[in-house]
Amino acid sequence: MKKTILLFLFILPLYFVTGQMIKGRVVSDNGNLISGVNIYIDGTKTGTISKEDGTFSLSISSTTLGNVVFQKDDFETFTTPASEVINKNLKVVLTKTTAIEEIRLVPYTPEAYRSYINYFLETFIGSDREHVTIKNQKSLKFSYDKKNKFLKVKAPNTLIIENKNLGYEIRYNLINYTSDFNSHMVNYTGTSFFKETKSSDKIKLNRMNAYDGSLLHFFRSIYNNQIPEEKFIVNHVVKVPNPKYPTEEELKILDDFKQIVKSSAMLKIPENISDISQRKNNQKPNALAIVKTQIPDSAYVERKDGKVLFSFKDMLQVNYQKYSYEIKGKEFTKEGLPITLSSYLHPEGEVFEITKEGNISNPDQLINEGDFTKNKIENLLPLDYQLGD
């Protein structure tokens, strides 16, 4: 049974307010005032906390910073575009999570946690477990569906992530994390609030190297109409069937053989079955073919009514020559030999709006592969980051 969750935001008259401000009060669905609600612009360092009487006031510098988030553990998170609530008096009603019915077809178990915690950290945090850690990691809940090879992870509490390399503490509200082991697709969404914990030349250097060639860098370049100037090269790519991958008929033969093996003591694998199995495991169903190189941004960007819209029917390959930033005396300079970063974006006809900060609408719907997938939490920068901060 699925229960509809209602989150409310009432706009009340506001007088004598100047500047760009988001203010109001937060209450529960039974009318009680809620203190300690985290209120922030998603992905930035701009935030506040509601007071004892539920009131809050958040000053912001731009009307296009994205979404404002109202988040408190044990309550459903509420998100709304900041541009729609600026200089209005708000009444935000949050619903208790305990009021939500949930049917667990596949339970969350300690065994699943132990089996997949390292995989989760690798795909969510990244490879540097020493300097990037989740302080309350044991609060995570894991569920694994063996039949469908599907992993789900939820975080009942806000994750407190310490990134010593970039000098941030991140309060990450993990809304969804799934991994399909059949398709090898990982998808997660959440909201984040950054607090700067340390600043030094070394940390500034790490931030610059994390930004250079990243997805954030790419989308800011699109917004500013500076793709060539920022040295990104974009190619048109299509999927073509891989002749080495098994046919549907061969896959059916392989599945039938597996059923026979389950019901018999057969140990020897026929040569043709072994060949099909190896090609299924080592090959991908489709290969990628570059149709056109160095396409103009007009092929995938539309500028209309003050908005920058990103869309493309097929796939885009994004290449970037990345030099490492180094410190020479008191200057930050790019040194050494470059490495080529190559990434793939799958807009698949969807339309995404890009903000000047480098954020996009519905980011969970944009599939990416290659080097952009390395932009995990260990390399995550706030949307209000500027090169050199």
At residue 17, does pLDDT exceed 80? no
Q: In this structure, how many other beta carbons lie within 10 angstroms of the beta carbon of residue 191? A: 23
**CA 219 to each of CA 59, 78, 292: distance values in angstroms, whole numbers, following the listed order:** 26, 26, 21
Q: Which two tokens stand for residue 162?
A: 């310490």
Helix (H) or strand (E) holding 302: strand 301-304
Q: In this structure, how many other beta carbons lie within 10 angstroms of the beta carbon of residue 48? A: 15
DSSP of 165-211: TTTEEEEEEEEEEEEETTTTEEEEEEEEEEEE----HHHHHHHHHHH
- Half-sphere exposure (CA, 13 Å, Cβ side) for 74? 6
pLDDT in tens, 219-241: 999 999 999 999 999 999 998 88
Question: Cα(314)–Cα(262) distance, rounded to whole angstroms?
Answer: 41
pLDDT in tens, 175-200: 999 999 988 889 898 999 999 999 99
At residue 5, does pLDDT exceed 70? no
Question: Cα(80)–Cα(237) distance, rounded to whole angstroms?
Answer: 35
DSSP of 77-98: -EEEEGGGTTT-EEEEEE-BGG
Residue with tokens 């592969």: 369
Mean pLDDT of 208-217: 96
Percent of the chain whose predicted confidence (pLDDT) is above 70: 91
Tallying the residues shown for the chain, one arrives at 389
pLDDT of residue 62: 59
The pTM is what?
0.81
pLDDT in tens, 279-289: 888 888 888 88
Task: Answer yes or no: are the C-beta atoms of 171 and 162 closer than 8 Å.
Answer: no
